Amino acid sequence: MGRDNETPEKRRERLRQKELKHPSSSIRGSNLSDLVGGLGLKGTGIMILVLIVGFVMYSIFFR
């Protein structure tokens, strides 16, 4: 049975199996929600604090 002749149920199952083998998101932080989800509340707070301090330092030295 070729892909042209497969039923919608078979096609959905094939696509689901393909997604399970190669997930679009990963724990390495492919997007911001993955990064924040992996860090937790304390890690996210520290990351925001570092970004704010970095921005202040940048604006002081490069003004």
Domain span including residue 15: 8-61
Residue 41, exposed/middle/buried by CB under 10 A (0-12, 13-18, 19+)?
exposed
- Is residue 2 a part of any domain in this protein? no
- Whether residue 34 contacts residue 25, with contact meaning beta carbons closer than 8 Å, is answered with yes
| Tally of structural domains, the chain | 1
CA-derived radius of gyration, the chain: 22
Residue 51 has pLDDT above 90, yes or no: yes
pLDDT 10s digits, 2-46: 667 888 888 888 888 887 777 665 555 456 666 666 777 888 888
Predicted TM-score (pTM) of the model is 0.45
- Is residue 3 a part of any domain in this protein? no
- Is residue 40 a part of any domain in this protein? yes
